[in-house]
């Protein structure tokens, strides 16, 4: 069947049509986006300007913060600008670009979280071989592998979207372009497409989530044999990782593991992995982490001291 497409743009219905709610959303999401940028940039600068970068865990955390900024930037600026706009539209090419970039950075984040869990597993379960296994070359290779896997995942999503014919309604009941809302608008039988989306997104997310939970289960069981001081430190670190994993994967699995249907609540659940998780990640990873707090104090106190010295 030849793919025909009479739609040149889509109308994003957003989160609400109420003017007062839209103004409130504008203030809230603008604050959230600034907090995401500032929080993750502080983490990146604090790690790269200190000796923490030499440790694999913080090496991956730097990339996680960078990906969080990129990931939320594919959606949030458009959401903020559309909140006060009378006509919330996005062109067909830009819709595909947003779909690809959002799934690319989202998938990269999933695999970096997996690599961070692997790092903690090696550090706790195989401490004598830790530096040999988690060498800088291997860490770089793991990040490249995460990017390659993210590209394959997002390219598959893009290919499915390109093959969809659109010849009628163009209103997307969401605040960004995603595959399920596009399936709803397609003028063809999307059952097979929906199964492919479940296989590409839902099943992948579920398998990764189960692997992560199993690995942290093994880690926690191994912590019992360690001293109380090291046990407490490792438990705090793993607790932070598990919190981030649940906060990110919970809404993702709710949306992508089911058949190709859309609910009104989907766009509110999507806020968790597009805005809320990237905003809280810096707090979760630094709040109970003494190494991060000490590094932040040294880096930022040093920079403030240099500025004062230049002024006087």
pLDDT tens figures, 179-191: 998 998 888 888 8
Q: What's the domain range around 138?
A: 18-164+188-306
Q: How far apart are CA 83 and CA 76, in angstroms?
A: 11
* Tally of structural domains, the chain: 1
Cβ distance 68 to 109 under 8 Å?
yes
In a domain, residue 209? The reply is yes
The yes-or-no verdict on residue 130 having pLDDT over 80 is: yes
Q: What is the pLDDT of residue 312?
A: 47
In a domain, residue 13? The reply is no
Burial group, residue 231, by CB count within 10 angstroms (0-12, 13-18, 19+):
middle
Q: Which tens digits make up the pLDDT trace of 87-102?
A: 889 999 999 999 999 9
The yes-or-no verdict on residue 163 having pLDDT over 80 is: yes
Lowest average pLDDT, out of 80-84, 109-113, 302-306, goes to 302-306
In a domain, residue 178? The reply is no
In a domain, residue 107? The reply is yes
In a domain, residue 90? The reply is yes
Q: What is the pLDDT of residue 78?
A: 93
In a domain, residue 119? The reply is yes
Its pTM stands at 0.89
* Pairing label, strands 9-12, 171-172: parallel
Q: What is the DSSP string of 206-229?
A: HHHHHHHHHHHHHHHHHGGGS-HH
Specify the CATH number for the domain of residue 99: 1.20.1070.10
In a domain, residue 177? The reply is no
| E-state strands within 38-183 | 89-91, 171-172
Q: Which tens digits make up the pLDDT trace of 25-42?
A: 899 999 999 999 999 999
The yes-or-no verdict on residue 45 having pLDDT over 80 is: yes
In a domain, residue 200? The reply is yes
Q: What is the pLDDT of residue 4?
A: 61
């Amino acid at each position: 069947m030849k793919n025909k497409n009479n739609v040149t743009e889509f109308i994003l219905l957003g989160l609400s049509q109420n003017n007062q709610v839209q103004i409130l959303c504008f203030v809230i999401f603008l604050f959230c986006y600034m907090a995401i940028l500032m929080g993750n940039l502080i983490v990146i600068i604090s790690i790269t300007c200190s000796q923490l970068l030499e440790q694999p865990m913080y090496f991956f955390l730097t990339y996680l913060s960078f990906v969080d900024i990129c990931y939320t930037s594919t959606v949030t600026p458009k959401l903020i600008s559309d909140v006060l706009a009378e006509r919330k539209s996005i062109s067909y090419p830009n819709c595909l670009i947003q779909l690809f970039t959002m799934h690319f950075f989202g998938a990269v984040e999933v695999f970096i979280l997996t690599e961070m869990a692997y790092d903690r597993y090696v550090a706790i379960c195989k401490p004598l071989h830790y530096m040999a296994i988690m060498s800088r070359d291997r860490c770089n290779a793991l990040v490249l592998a995460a990017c390659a896997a993210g590209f394959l995942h997002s390219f598959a999503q893009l290919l499915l979207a390109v093959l969809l014919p659109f010849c009628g309604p163009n209103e997307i009941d969401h605040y960004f372009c995603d595959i399920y809302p596009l399936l709803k608008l397609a003028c063809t039988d999307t059952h097979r497409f929906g199964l492919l989306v479940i296989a590409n997104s839902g099943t992948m997310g579920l398998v990764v989530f189960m692997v992560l939970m199993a690995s942290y289960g093994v880690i926690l069981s191994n912590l019992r044999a360690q001293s109380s001081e090291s046990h407490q430190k490792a438990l705090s670190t793993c607790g932070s990782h598990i919190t981030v994993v649940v906060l990110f994967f919970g809404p993702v699995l709710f949306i992508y593991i089911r058949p190709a249907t859309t609910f009104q609540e989907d766009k509110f659940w999507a806020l968790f992995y597009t805005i809320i998780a990237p905003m809280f990640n810096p707090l979760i990873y630094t709040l109970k982490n003494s190494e991060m707090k000490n590094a932040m104090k040294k880096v930022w106190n040093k920079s403030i001291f240099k500025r004062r010295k230049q002024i006087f």
